[in-house]
Structure 1
C-alpha cells in the first residue's frame, strides 16, 4: 500500500484505467458486475447475449403465428412488437438485476395483455425472469411479480375488458382464471424445486471442497511429521559424531575417521528417507520408489544408535503389522531413541516389544538422568508420537520413571481401522 501511495500516475503509464486491457482491477465497464474474492468475475455475472437473442426471436415469431390464429385480437403492429422486444430484452439483465427484470417483464406482459394483443409466448418471458429470481434467492420478488400479472389478468378478463381493446371483447369467466392461477403456482413450484436443488448442489460442492482441504492439511501434517522424525534422528547422530570427530581429530585420527564415516552414512540414509517422504508430493497415481520403513528395520536403528555411543537392547520379536501401524511403530521407537541420544546422560537403552490381544506394546527405557530440564525432549517429538498413536486409535505415555531415567510406552492396535 505504501508503494501505491508513493507512485506517480503519469500519462502513458500502463497502469492507467482503460489504457491496457486486463491491467485494471477496478470496477468493470458493465454496471452491476460482480467479482469474487480473487478479483475474477463472479459466476453467473456474464451477459447472456445468445440465449436472450434466441428467446427474443422465438417470442416474435411465435407471437406473429399467434396473431394469425387469433383474428379477433388487436394486430401486433409496431407497438405490440416493441412490447415484445421490451419483455424479452429485459432478460439480458436477469442475472445481474433479477428483481427488476421480474417486475419489468410482468409489467410489459400486463400492458401487452391490456392492449388486446394476441396471447402467445410473451408470458414465457415472465416465466424465465421469475424462475431466475427464485433460483437466485429473490423469492418474494418472483411471487409478487407473478401475483401482479395474475391480478391484472383477472381485472382485464372480468372487468376492464369493456374499456380496453379490442372492441366488443367478451369476458372469459372465472374458469380460465383458475387455470391461470394453477399455471402461476406450477411455475413457482418448479422454481422453488430448482432453487432447493441448486442450494443442495452448492452445499455438496462446499462439503467436497472442505473435505479436500482437510485431506490436504492432513497430508501436509503427515509429511511434516515424517520429515521431523527422519531429520531429528539423523541430525542427532550426526551432531554426536561430529563432536566425537572434532575431539579426536588430533589425538586419534582413526577414530575421527570412523566418526566421519558414520556421519556420511547417516546423512545418506536421511537424504534417502527425505526423498521417499517427498515422493508423495509427485503426481497422483505414482507409486512410491521404496517401501515405508517398519519394525523390521530395528537392527538399523540399533546400529545407528551404537554409532552415536548408545547401546540399545531389544527384547521381543517385531510383529507383522499393516503398513500404517508398522511405520508408526518404527517412528515412535526412532523418536524415543533420538531423545535418549539428545537429552539423556545414559548410554544404555532398552526396547521391549510385546504383542497380543489385538495390540502392540512398545516400551523404550533409559537409565537417565536427563541433561537438562526437558527430559523427554523439546515437546515436538512427543507430540508427533502422540499424533501417530492417536491416528491409529492407540495411546502414548511418556514420563520419568520412579527409579530415574525416562520411559516411553506406546500401545497400538495390531489391525487399525482403515478410516482412522
Structure 2
C-alpha cells in the first residue's frame, strides 16, 4: 500500500474540492431555507478533500473525519450540494483497503444521523420516509459498488498468485528434469568411458588395434557428453530453446557407442511419440545399456518395443556375462530409481530385476488418445 499521496491523490483531492465548492455555491441560490456559503462552510467543504490526501496511509481516520465534517456541515444548516462526495470516495477507499466492517458501520451511523436530523432537527418539515429511503439506497449503491470492485481486485490478485505459484512449480519441475538429464548423461557416458578405458589398457600391448577402437569410443563419448551437457544447461539461459536433449533418432548412435550386441524388436503400429515419452524411452534404454556395460560387459541384449493401443511397452533384457564388470563395485547409484521416477511421472510403471543369468528392465508408458 502506498504511504504517501501521489499524483492521483492530488488530482482526486483537487477535483473533489472544486466540485464541492462550485456546485454548492450554485445550489445555494435556490435554497432559501438554508444558510448561504461563508468562510466556515468553505473550510468544512475543503476539509474532506484535504483528508483524501492521506486516505491511503490512514484510511479509517480519514473516513471518520470526512463523515464527521459532513455531519457538521449539515447540522450547521448550510445549503445542500455535493458535500457527500468526499465521504463517498472515502467509503470506497476504506472497503478496498480491507476495512469493510468500519466502512459498513460508519455508513449505518451516517444513515441513522440523516434519519434523526431530517425527522427532529431539520429547520423545515421532514420530506418523509421516501427521502430517507433514497439516502439509504444511495449509501447501499456506494457500498455495493465498492464491494464489487474489491472482490474483482481480490480475484485478480488470486489469479496472479496462482499463476506465480504455477510458474514456480514449473520452474522447480524443470530444475528436477535438468538434474535428472544431467545424471543420465553423465552416468552413461562416464561409465562408458571407464569401461572403454579399462579395455584399452588391457589390450594396448597385445591388441593395439582393438585398443585404438576403444580409445576412439572414449573420444566420441566425451564429445557426446559435452554436447548433451551444453544442451541441457542452455535451458538456464534466458530465451534458450527448450527442445528435448535426447530422442529415439539417436538410438543407433547410443547402441553403437556401448559396443554391446543389441537385438532390436519392434511390434505394433509404430507411430510418433509425445516428446516426454520419447525422451523417457531413450533415457531408460540408455540407463539399461549402461548397467549392462557396468555389470555384464559383452552380454547380448534384446531391446523389445511394443506399440499398444494405449501404452508403449519397452523391455531391455540381457543374457548375463561370466565376466565381471569393471564398475560392478562402484555402488548402486540412482539409475533404476531414476528410470522408475521417469515412468511414474508419465503415469506409467517400471520393473527391474534378475531374469535367469541376466537382468531385465520393463517399462509401460501410457500413450495419449490422439496417439493411440
| TM-score bin (small chain) | 0.7 to 0.9
- Unaligned 5+ segments in structure 1 are 1-43, 163-168
Q: Distance in 1 between the 2:54 and 2:369 partners?
A: 57
1:33-88 alpha-carbon deviations (Å, 9 max, x no partner)? xxxxxxxxxxx324233333333333333333322322332233222222222211
Alignment of 1:213-224 (within 5 A): 213-224=168-179
Within 1, Cα distance between the matches of 2:328 and 2:64?
73
Measured after TM superposition, the shift of residue 141 of structure 1 is 0.3
Please list the CA deviations of residues 167-202 of structure 1 after superposition, one character each: whole Å capped at 9, or x if unmatched: xx5543332111111111111111111122122111
TM-score, reference length from structure 1: 0.77
What corresponds to 1:335 in structure 2? 287
Structure with larger RCO (C-alpha < 8 A, sep 6+): 2
Q: Secondary structure in 1 aligned to 2:163?
A: helix
For the structure 1 residues 57 and 302, does the alpha-carbon distance in structure 2 shift closer, same or farther, using more than 3 Å as the test? closer
Partner residue of 1:398 out of 344, 352, 361? 352
Q: Distance in 1 between matches of 2:236 and 2:370?
A: 25
Separation of aligned partners in 1, 2:144 and 2:115: 21
Question: Could you tell which deviates more after superposition, 378-387 or 120-129?
Answer: 378-387
- Per the alignment, in what secondary structure is the counterpart of residue 35 of structure 2? coil
After TM superposition, the structure 1 = structure 2 runs for residues 174-193 of structure 1, keeping only pairs within 5 Å, are 174-193=129-148
Task: Look up the match of 2:317.
Answer: 365
| TM-superposed deviation, 1:417 | 6.6
Q: Would you say the 8 A contact 1:392–1:417 is kept in 2? A: no
Match for residue 388 of structure 1 among 338, 342, 354: 342
Q: How many Å apart are 1:111 and its aligned residue?
A: 1.1
Stretches of structure 2 that go unaligned for 5 or more consecutive residues are none
The structure 2 residue matched to 1:312, chosen from 240, 262, 265, is 262
Q: Does 1:49 align with 2:2?
A: no
Q: TM-score, normalised by structure 2?
A: 0.86
How many angstroms apart in 2 are the aligned matches of 1:278 and 1:326? 20
Say whether 1:117 aligns with 2:78. yes
Matched residue SS, 1:76: coil
Correspondence list, 1:232-247, <5 A: 232-247=187-202
Which whole-Å CA distance do the structure 2 matches of 1:154 and 1:100 have between them?
A: 24
Query: CA 1:49/1:210 → structure 2, altered by over 3 Å: closer, same or farther?
Result: closer
2:282 equivalent to 1:321: no
Partner of 1:211: 166
**Alignment partner of 1:155 is 2:119:** no
CA distance in 1, matches of 2:369, 2:347: 7
Instruction: Name the structure 1 match of 2:17.
Output: 60
Contact 1:230 1:273 survives alignment (8 Å): yes
The change in CA–CA distance for 1:333 and 1:320 in structure 2 (over 3 A counts) is same
More helix by share: 2
C-alpha distance in 1 between matches for 2:107 and 2:359: 78
Which residue, out of 351, 361, 365, partners 1:408? 361
In the alignment, the residues of structure 2 paired with residue 256 and residue 373 of structure 1 have an alpha-carbon distance, to the nearest angstrom, of: 19
Per-residue deviation, 1:251: 5.8
2:77 alignment partner, SS class: coil
